[in-house]
Amino acid sequence: MTDKSDSPSGLVQGTLDMLVLRVLALEPLHGYGISVRIQQVSKGVFDVNPGSLFPAFRRLERAGYIRPQWRVTEHNRRAKYYALTPSGARHLERETNEWRRQTAAIAAILGQA
């Protein structure tokens, strides 16, 4: 449940949440847009499964990190856009720092070995 994503060590689930927040930090996007953007930015390394994407939206929305809004797309369709909230931005910064700290530590260990 939500608690797992809170702990900085919840790597896999927390990672997806972080990626979503990072993508939304640039501009509000709808579900499909987010999935495409993650794929593009990660140069195809992350192919995000919609099955885990939507629960992540729900989690982040409940936590108040993103705010939904129905808007019209470039193809003139109605879609639910998500925008980063100020508390989401702070959360992203915290998570990013934590992530950097951890990866640096792991990299150091791996480099030593």
Q: Which residues bind other proteins (CB under 8 A)?
A: 1-3, 6, 30-33, 35-36, 49-52, 54-59, 61-65, 73, 75, 77-80, 87, 91
Smallest distance, other proteins to C-beta of residue 96, A: 16
Close Cβ partners of 62 (under 8 Å, ≥ 6 residues apart): 2
Q: How far apart are CA 39 and CA 58, in angstroms?
A: 20
Judge contact between 30 and 80, C-beta under 8 A. Answer: yes
Smallest distance, other proteins to C-beta of residue 16, A: 12
The residue among 47 and 110 lying less far from other proteins, judged by its C-beta, is 47
Smallest distance, other proteins to C-beta of residue 104, A: 25
